[in-house]
Amino acid sequence: MTRAARRLAKSLRARISDERVLEAIAAVPRERFVRADLIDDAYEDRALPNAHGQTISQPTVVALMCEALELQPDDRVLDVGLGSGYHAAVLAHLCAHVYGIERDRRLATAAVGVLADCGIDNVTVAAGDGRDGWPEHAPFQAINVAAAARHRIPEALEEQLAPGGRLIAPLADGVEERLTLVRRTQEGLERTTLGAVRFVPLR
């Protein structure tokens, strides 16, 4: 591990208590997912711009979202807004299989290449509108949304949650964006609002 990666691991430890999540972050070489000219910043704890006007998520936010999803080794997870594939790579270490959807075909294609280079073989990628979810592979034990929905989480995504399933998404109300956790319980959908974040919009 480089000095920068060690520094990041240490600062994550202050906010994340789930050891499996910390291990998953440490196992993913973030430098492979960032734009070539930003490699020196790969282990900075912030979102970085990618080649197509989108971003690669901040490690602390990725870790918080993974922790909130309470992932189990057998879980099948839908990742909406695959982008660089970084977040999916971390999820892939924590569950059985990740289904990643990205609207920008160029990003989806690039992510497939990087994930294969990293030896990650439990992520299936499609280019398309993630607001529809991925009905062919539903239901999912967990759904991760990496782009901010306005006011409400797309219904199709909530419908594709398995019993006991968890969904996390940034939700924009026009003023700010907050991470929202949805859980499918026996009584129905239970919603909890977590901290404020910044994400690109879900379009």
Kindly list the catalytic residues: 57
State how far the Cα of 191 lies from the Cα of 188, in Å rounded to an integer: 10
Smallest distance, Å, CB 14 to ligand SAH?
22
Taking the least distance from each CB to ligand SAH, the nearer of 109 and 185 is 109
Would you count residue 203 as binding ligand SAH (CB under 6 A)? yes
* Piece of the chain touching ligand SAH by CB under 6 A; list 83-91, 133-141, 158-166, 177-185: 83-91
Residue 90 DSSP class: H
State which of positions 164-183 bind ligand SAH (CB under 6 A): none
State how far the Cα of 203 lies from the Cα of 185, in Å rounded to an integer: 28
Among 57, 60, 160, 180, binds ligand SAH (CB under 6 A): 57
State which of positions 10-49 bind ligand SAH (CB under 6 A): none
Would you count residue 84 as binding ligand SAH (CB under 6 A)? yes
Taking the least distance from each CB to ligand SAH, the nearer of 22 and 127 is 127
Residue matched to tokens 């910044």: 198
Bond preceding residue 154 cis, omega within 30 of 0: no
Among 43, 86, 99, 140, binds ligand SAH (CB under 6 A): 86
Q: Which own/partner pairs from 164-168 qualify as long-range (CB within 8 Å, at least 24 positions apart)?
A: 165/139, 165/140, 165/141, 166/68, 166/69, 166/70, 166/141, 166/142, 167/142, 167/143, 168/65, 168/68, 168/69, 168/143, 168/144, 168/194
Token code pair at residue 162: 């398995």
Among 56, 110, 123, 143, binds ligand SAH (CB under 6 A): 56
Q: Which H or E run contains 182?
A: strand 177-185
* Piece of the chain touching ligand SAH by CB under 6 A; list 21-29, 63-71, 96-104, 184-192: 96-104
Using DSSP bridges, classify how beta strands 97-102 and 149-150 pair: parallel, antiparallel or unpaired: unpaired
Would you count residue 133 as binding ligand SAH (CB under 6 A)? no
Would you count residue 93 as binding ligand SAH (CB under 6 A)? no
Would you count residue 87 as binding ligand SAH (CB under 6 A)? yes
Residues in the site for ligand SAH, rule: CB under 6 A?
Answer: 54-57, 80-84, 86-87, 101-104, 107, 129-131, 146-147, 200, 202-203
